[in-house]
Amino acid sequence: MLCHLVYVSTAVAPMRDQDLAELLVQARANNERRAITGMLLYKDGRFIQILEGHEEQVQASFERIRKDERHTAVDLLWLRYAQYRDFPDWTMGFLNADEVDPETLKGYSPFLERDLRYEEFIQNSTEVHEMLQVFKENPGGLVK
């Protein structure tokens, strides 16, 4: 069964461009093999990631990712069954929101103007999902 998993986490140390690039190469290669798609967002030392795919693959990937020592405070926001993938063409879309002009981000989501905080996400999961959708529909040069 297809499912979507979303979590937030905190980088143990600030991620440099090179660190993020390495992480993405590794993630995309693995995801392609496991038919996982999704999107990763990095901002102010926090990550939010959506993983989509077959339940067993998503669960297994998340178990590996949550043990990764590059981040901590890995909080699962939701795991839902879904009929479709939101990011069918992306083995892992990526946005480093720290590198985007804050004025530009304003148009995307109020979440990106503040810290990515777990409590707020839990209370506004629909908005979080919508935010991720916005990136899919209007990458506008933002998402690599």
Ligand X SMILES: Cc1cc2nc3c(=O)[nH]c(=O)nc-3n(C[C@H](O)[C@H](O)[C@H](O)COP(=O)(O)O)c2cc1C
Residues that bind ligand X (CB under 6 A): 9, 23, 26-27, 30-31, 40, 47, 49, 61, 64-65, 68, 70-71, 92
Least distance to ligand X, CB of residue 110, Å: 23
Residues 12 and 51: their CA atoms lie apart, in Å, by: 21
Strands 37-43 and 93-96: parallel
- The smaller minimum CB distance to ligand X, of residues 54 and 70, is found at 70
CA distance 56 to 120: 28
- Given the complex with ligand X, which of 27 and 105 has the nearer CB atom? 27
Least gap, CB of 107 to ligand X (angstroms):
25
Q: What is the DSSP letter of 25?
A: H
